[in-house]
Structure 1
Amino acid sequence: MRFVPLVLAALLLIAGQTAAARPPSAVFLNVVAHQDDDLLFLTPDLSQTLKASVTVYVTSGEGSHPESMTPEDYAEMRQAGERNAYATMAGVANRWDRVALRTGTGTTAELATLRARPSVKLVFLRLHDWSDLHGLWNGEVASGGTVLPTGSPARVEDTYTRDKLTKTLTWLMDHFRPTVIRTQNPAPLSGFYAPDPDNPDHTAVARFTNLAAESYEGKAQVRNYRGYDDAQLPTGLDPALRAERTKAFRAYADVDTNVATLFDDTASYLGWRQTMLNRWPSGVSWTDGADEAYAVLGDEVKRWRRNVFGEWGKPVGLGGSGFAPAVTVARQADGRLRLFSLNRNTFDVVTAVQDRFGDYSGWTSLGNPNGPGGDQTGLPAAGTDAQGRLWFFVRNGGGGVSARQQNADGTFGDWQDMHGWGVQDGLSVVSAGGRLQVFATQCSARLYVTATCSIARLVQGESGFEWDTSVVPGAAATAPTAVAGTDGKAHVYFRATGTAAVLMAVDGVVTDLGNPGGPGEVAATATGEVYARNAAHGISARGASGWRAVGGHTEASPAVVGRGVVSIGVDGRLTQLVH
């Protein structure tokens, strides 16, 4: 085992400041609990955006140290593994400048900067693994200490309280000025991993990060990634991206000998490398299909409008806070737009509606089907049935679907349980054939066994909604997108398990539309134009000659406007890529 030598032998303290120098147009801040969480759950998004990337490790990860090593030695081994992985991803020599970083809250972290790529930085806060992090969040402990990794320039023992850790993370955000903040899963879905759906430290670090982001001075997109349950979900990355992810993790495991012994374990490290999923998919329903777009930036929903010359104006804030990173746009029977989102702190559905002048007055909670603490509630999807009644649907705590119908006076009726099982987040609603139809990815859930996922349909009939699980054959790796085609039928788009190719299903007949690479949901128009993220972090469009890149640099799925497409870039800007 070889360790990178310290470049600076003397302790160097970098004084705290409220903001760093003006950043590039896009800066990425990754916040994870342990060394290797970033490689297993945030990659390949992370590995493809190393131009300006900072990763923060909240714990020392020493809790699983072998009996032959001290916690301090193992903490240093894990840090060395991350340095090796990032140098490998950047394609440069594994040489780093390591210094102590004094934060704005008075604590000391280690800051490692990749010498050949100084925009790549690693920050180690060094909290104790296992108990301190989730104990601080849950109130089980009042304070937690830190580890002094062998050879680290950060030689100060710190004490963190819940408030101090939150403020430290906010300070790091203000210091590095990210436009995208990635972290782990604050609300793991049950039923896909035992004994817990995720590591409690993963959950705690995500909740700390989300809370810290609410006080961040900048305007960032916050994205949460699923964790341990990835091991049981189908492969959602194409072979090239899986190979990229495996290469990065192999570089880490070459140093962390404890992890190397389980590198190909199907129930853990091998399974976790097969897919990358957001806890809350961004979806493709964040425009009105014509001249308005909505997205969450800086903990607030922003609105873009297009003028008569086809030009998009600057974003305008619509207030509120605590939004999950997705907005659904629906049109009421009276023609006004209504927005739906999910509050990631209360897990309640929230809504805002236009007034007669086209403005929004504020957000209202519509609750959730499982009551207080219903953290299994999914993102709302909405649509209008043939009678002009607006409905919205969510994944509920039982793994099924619940819904509420809008009344004639604009209020919403009681929650209705539509039943179902194994439903994943990311529903899609379409009115086709005179009926409202809800499409969902449905996964079998057997502990330690890879799930089989397919597309199921909840269809409106004379006596209510009923499930039809045979309407869309084929193995699905992403949430579906349903569009009413010009033939009046529901056209359902999703990515295939194993290849991430885009599939289209109409009346039970599945057509392979080829593979643009990349992850995420697919956007499509009624006339058959199809758009999806590609393997280069951009957007591709499918034409008669196949897929072609049309630009963009995004981690969110695109959305349709007319026959064209828009995307929200990693710099937070709205761009129309196809007109």
Structure 2
Amino acid sequence: MNGDWIIRGRDGRLSVYLPSDDAVLCRAERAPGGPWEAPRTVGGGQKLRPGLAIGQGADSYAHLVCWGSTGPGESELVHSTHFRPLLAPLDWGPVGHPNKKGDRTGTPAVAVDAQGRAHIFVRNKGGGVSMRAQKEKGGWDPWCDIKGRDVQEDLAAVTGESGRVELYAVVPEGILYWRQEEPGSQPVLTERLEVSVRPGTLRALATSPENTTLFFTDDSGDLCAWRRGAKPVTLLASAGPGPISAIRCELDGSDCTLLAQRSASGRVVFAAYPSEEESAGAWWTESGPQLPTDAKVSLAVDAHGSVVAATMSPSTGQLLLSRRKDEPGLALTGWREV
């Protein structure tokens, strides 16, 4: 999955989105902090391909994007909006193919601007990036090629505190960075960072009114943080092979960035530090049981302002949750199955 898959809705309830065979399942709290409803299928009977992308706007609406199968060797991107956790998401609507027709070209990414418009990004057949954005009054603008070359599978899309959309992509020699210069404009390729990157490890987060921070693992296994116009900073050694999850939250009265990852030992690890102050240092703390190798981790902040951590294993279907205790530090409750 690309993006946070546990999110807080407009009514304060948490929702999770779980790929399942050729569909996406959704589960939601019946009340904030309360029991959870049973899984239900998102978007009707559309047969889906691997690679779900999830984005959320300032209005708290969830935007889901995935490849839908249209026939042998043929796919198109489809989109659904989920307005509130206890409402049914909209049926999957076609968004088309960046090359008009063909098979899946890469895992999509989606970000939502300040006006609530979803921006969908995906690698195209030529190895660059194509995007399509919602119009403010409904419908979609045409597909456009925003350039790039030899772009790899996964992209990281993010909306800054300004409401402008930004995008990061891995290429063989480093990372490409696009940003909107003005709200509603087409993102422009503005910077290229020469660095070694492990594919599939990008995670972007808005960390201040001016900046977004990109987290990635380099070829030596270090987790790095990078902001435009600066050099990347080594934060700490990556705990496992996959991407991290990252959120901003308040810990003991300070604005902090919290990271989580499935470690090589199979447990979830957490690290926190003051936002954009990587020089303060960070270290991993293990939590919870050992998890299957395909387990994924995601973070959210609930209606009461408390951190919630979730893990999900596609192979077992097991969903586990833990919440921060009401005490100093980052002490968590015991992990429980939902």
Tell me, yes or no, whether TM beats 0.5: yes
- Give the Å deviation of 1:568: 0.7
- Give the Å deviation of 1:458: 1.2
Q: For the aligned residues, what is the CA RMSD?
A: 2.6
Matches within 5 A, 1:23-102: none
Please give the per-residue CA displacement for 1:325-359, whole angstroms capped at 9, x wherever unaligned: 33222346765332111236633111122368721
Tell me which residue corresponds to 2:196. 475
Unaligned runs of 5+ in 1: 1-281, 444-451
Could you tell me which of 303, 325, 338 is aligned with 2:63?
Answer: 338
- Give yes or no for contact 1:478–1:520 (8 Å, CA) kept in 2: no
Matches within 5 A, 1:535-554: 535-543=264-272, 546-551=283-288, 553-554=291-292
- Give the Å deviation of 1:415: 0.5
Residue 371 (1) aligns with residue 100 (2):
yes
Residue 575 (1) aligns with residue 320 (2):
yes
- Give yes or no for contact 1:343–1:349 (8 Å, CA) kept in 2: yes
Could you tell me which of 166, 175, 179 is aligned with 1:437?
Answer: 166
Tell me which residue corresponds to 1:423. 151
- Give yes or no for contact 1:550–1:578 (8 Å, CA) kept in 2: no
For the residue of structure 2 that corresponds to 1:347, the secondary structure is: strand
- Give yes or no for contact 1:558–1:565 (8 Å, CA) kept in 2: yes
What is the one-letter code of the residue matched to 1:364?
A: G
Could you tell me which of 275, 285, 292 is aligned with 2:4?
Answer: 285
Aligned partners of 2:142 and 2:187: how far apart in 1? 15
- Give the Å deviation of 1:556: 4.3
Aligned partners of 2:288 and 2:118: how far apart in 1? 35
Tell me which residue corresponds to 2:180. 460
Unaligned runs of 5+ in 2: 249-255, 274-281, 302-306, 325-338
Aligned partners of 1:459 and 1:468: how far apart in 2? 7
Aligned partners of 2:125 and 2:177: how far apart in 1? 19
Residue 295 (1) aligns with residue 18 (2):
yes
- Give yes or no for contact 2:5–2:54 (8 Å, CA) kept in 1: yes
Aligned partners of 2:238 and 2:58: how far apart in 1? 37
Whichever structure has more strand as a proportion of its residues is 2
Larger radius of gyration: 1
Tell me which residue corresponds to 1:518. 240
- Give yes or no for contact 2:158–2:166 (8 Å, CA) kept in 1: yes
Please give the per-residue CA displacement for 1:514-567, whole angstroms capped at 9, x wherever unaligned: 224321111101231001121023321114661122235141432221133212
Could you tell me which of 249, 258, 274 is aligned with 1:529?
Answer: 258
- Give the Å deviation of 1:299: 2.3
- Give yes or no for contact 1:384–1:431 (8 Å, CA) kept in 2: yes
Matches within 5 A, 1:173-184: none
- Give the Å deviation of 1:493: 0.6
Tell me which residue corresponds to 2:91. 362
Tell me which residue corresponds to 2:54. 329
What is the one-letter code of the residue matched to 1:339?
A: L
What TM-score do the two structures reach when normalised by structure 1? 0.46
Tell me which residue corresponds to 2:231. 509
- Give the Å deviation of 1:388: 4.1
Could you tell me which of 33, 36, 58 is aligned with 1:309?
Answer: 33
- Give the Å deviation of 1:372: 2.4
Residue 380 (1) aligns with residue 108 (2):
yes
What is the one-letter code of the residue matched to 1:304?
A: R
Matches within 5 A, 1:75-154: none
Count residues with an aligned counterpart: 286
Residue 400 (1) aligns with residue 128 (2):
yes
- Give yes or no for contact 1:349–1:367 (8 Å, CA) kept in 2: yes
| Deviating 4+ runs (over 4 angstroms) | 332-335
Aligned partners of 2:318 and 2:287: how far apart in 1? 16
Residue 558 (1) aligns with residue 297 (2):
yes
What is the one-letter code of the residue matched to 2:67?
A: L
- Give yes or no for contact 1:289–1:560 (8 Å, CA) kept in 2: no
- Give yes or no for contact 2:46–2:92 (8 Å, CA) kept in 1: no
Cα pair distance change 1:299/1:390, threshold 3 Å: closer
Cα pair distance change 1:551/1:474, threshold 3 Å: farther
